[in-house]
Structures are given as structure tokens and as C-alpha cells.
Amino acid sequence: MELIPAIDLIDGRCVRLTQGDYDIKKVYEQNPVDMAKMYADCGVRRLHVVDLDGAKAKEPCNLRVLEQLAASTGLDIEWGGGIKSTDALRAALNAGANRVICGSVAVDNRELFADWLQNYGAEHVILGADVRGRNVATHGWLKESQVSIDEIIGWFLPFGLKQLICTDISKDGMLQGPNFQLYVELKDNFPAVDTTLSGGISSMDDIRKAHELGLHSVIIGKAIYEGRITLKDLELWLQNE
């Protein structure tokens, strides 16, 4: 099972939101490039980076940080936030992202997202579906749609969808454990899609449970910043893996 540390960016700095609320944010002192280097030193292979400024502005805002991350580490970087156009998708890939996470556009412009899957490759284009209950929220979690997580996956399976990051907003930043049932159901219902658990990881016990349930990858955010999961914990897990 792959452990994917998360870096969320506002004004080029590491932050964490609570339940996706921009008004409830905590800014951390760590430099994002320094954090990424520490993760790489632990044996982490993939990094999850969200441009929260970009999510609100509807276009990437922190590509300079992405360039620095790509130049300073050999990490497989998945990047999201503000990817609403082909130019934005191309800019993120050119700046050093190996994979680009696309959320709102998949709801608002199904044809465009399907085109990206086919023309840029499903290995580079990730469906980002952030849910409240079972419905997808968009535009930096500020808007509710009437589209369910199951429905949106079904839209794009015919176009080769292979990767999904599903964030349970009710659990995100709460450090109370994930909604494991949701992810097990998605894994079982859509076996062709590699579903990443995002939201709620609070301890190594949560990671062990995810592994026991057969989940393939988990994103870890606030638990690292708050010291619930240490860099040494990550290193030992990855060594044993």
C-alpha cells in the first residue's frame, strides 16, 4: 500500500484546512520543498500537492512551487487545484507534475475531462472527487453538485479512467479516522479504478486498517503536521513494505 503525504498550499506556504473551510486554516512553518525532501529521504515515492489558491482562482497559482518541488526531488508529484482548462493541465505537467488531479471540470465539462483522459493518458490524469455524504462537491469544496461519486466514476470508465482520489470532506482535517466503508465499497464496485483514500487518517492504526482492508493507497496530511504520524513511522512502514 502506497503512503502519499499531502502538502496543501496557500501563498506558497504549507497549510491545512478543516473540512475544506478556507476560514479554518492552520499555517505551518515548514517550507514545502524542505518537507518534500524529508519525505523523499523517508522512502516516500509519491507526493500529493493541492494548490488551494488555484482551486479558488480557477487557475493554478503556485506553479513556481511545483517547479521547485520537481527540481529538488525525484518524487512522483500529483498536483491539483484550478485545473479548469487544457492550458492549465499542460502548464502543471510542464512545471513538473507527473499526474494532474481534476475535480470540478469533470462535473462541469464532462466532454473535456474525457478528452484529457484519452489524449494525455489515464496514467497522468486523476479524477478528484471530493464528497459530502455521497455527492461530489466542487470549486474548492465551495459548491455542492447533485452528482454522486458512483455516477461520476461511471461517466468516465468508458474513457479509460484508472485513478481516483476520493476525499471525504466530513473527515478531512478532523483526525478522527476515515470512512473506511466508503472506500471499500468503491474498491469493490470499481475494481478497474485505483482508488486513493483521502481524509481522516489520524494514526498508524488507520494505515494498518486500510492495508488490512486491501486499499491500495492513502493520503496523509494533518496527522503528520500535528505529530500523530512521524517521519520515522513512515520510514519504518516503507522499509517493512
Known catalytic residues are 8, 130
* CA-to-CA dists, residue 238 to 39, 42, 171, 185, angstroms: 11, 8, 25, 26
Q: How far apart are CA 52 and CA 2, in angstroms?
A: 24
Three-state DSSP class for residue 241: coil
Ordered DSSP codes for 192-223 = TSEEEEES---SHHHHHHHHHTT--EEEE-HH
What are the cell numbers at 90?
Answer: 499542460
Give residue 199's region: left, alpha or beta (phi > 0; psi -120 to 50): left
| SS3 assignment for 77-98 | EEEECCCCCHHHHHHHHHHCCC
